[in-house]
Amino acid sequence: MPETPQEWYARTRSTIDTSGYREADLESWSSWPWTGKLRAKPLDPPADEEPPRGGAGGRDCRTCESARSLDPGYVLWHDSEWMLGLPLESRALPFALFLMPRRHADLQDLTTEEARRQGELLSAVEQAACAVLPVPRIQVARWGDGGEHLHWWLYARPTGMLQLRGTFLSHWDELLPPVPAEIFRADQHLVVAELQRIAGGEVTAST
């Protein structure tokens, strides 16, 4: 049988107490954003239950509200099932959007047709971004611990910025100075216009 969270924690914490954390040697990675030694926090035991996520069950879900209104300040592109949203916070990278279902659903809730379209769009967004922006590819991340409505983070670094490759791209995005808002928004519109050409759907707003 699989370990319970409590068994996993007891085994892991016992090993930490005896041998310490593993040496990850992250400082040697070219993409590591920091200098100097960092120390891992103590490992907390598992909570008795998971906390509620934002918009649970579709109630008070800001993403659902945006899907219903197709708010042009947030939703840049949509079709009948999916939409692309603009991050509300300033971004340092040349490309960053959210891919989200228009109905309230998490990853495990998608229908076969929604999942098929999701895969098509992930490929098409990369094609579009690489066609109109100087980026080599997109990176796709899904955390979702804070909000129940599925949202894929889609990122891209500038071509040739090799230090930003890989795992820590989202951290670099938080550390580096932001792209001016008007430039960032205009660049995302270039991408969604090309996406419309490749994969259909509608561009919701203009620059």
- What's the chain's average pLDDT? 93
pLDDT digits (tens, 9 = 90+) for 39-69: 889 999 999 999 999 999 889 999 999 989 9
User: 56-203 falls under which CATH superfamily?
Assistant: HIT-like (3.30.428.10)
Half-sphere exposure of 193 (CA within 13 A, CB side): 11
- Residue 177: DSSP 8-state: P
Q: Which of 109, 106, 105, 137 is nearest to 123 (CA)?
A: 137
CA 134 to chain centre: 20
Query: Whats the size of the chain, residue-wise?
Result: 207
Please list the residues that pair with 97 across neighbouring strands: 154
What pLDDT was estimated at residue 39? 85
pLDDT value, residue 25: 80
**Which of 58, 78, 155 has its CA nearest to residue 121?**
78
**What pTM value is reported for the model?**
0.92
Q: Is the pLDDT of residue 205 over 70?
A: no
**Residue 149 Ramachandran class (φ > 0 left, ψ -120 to 50 alpha, else beta):** beta
Question: Do the Cβ atoms of 169 and 157 come closer than 8 Å?
Answer: yes
pLDDT of residue 183: 95
- pLDDT for the residue numbered 31: 85
- Residues 106-116: what's their mean pLDDT? 97
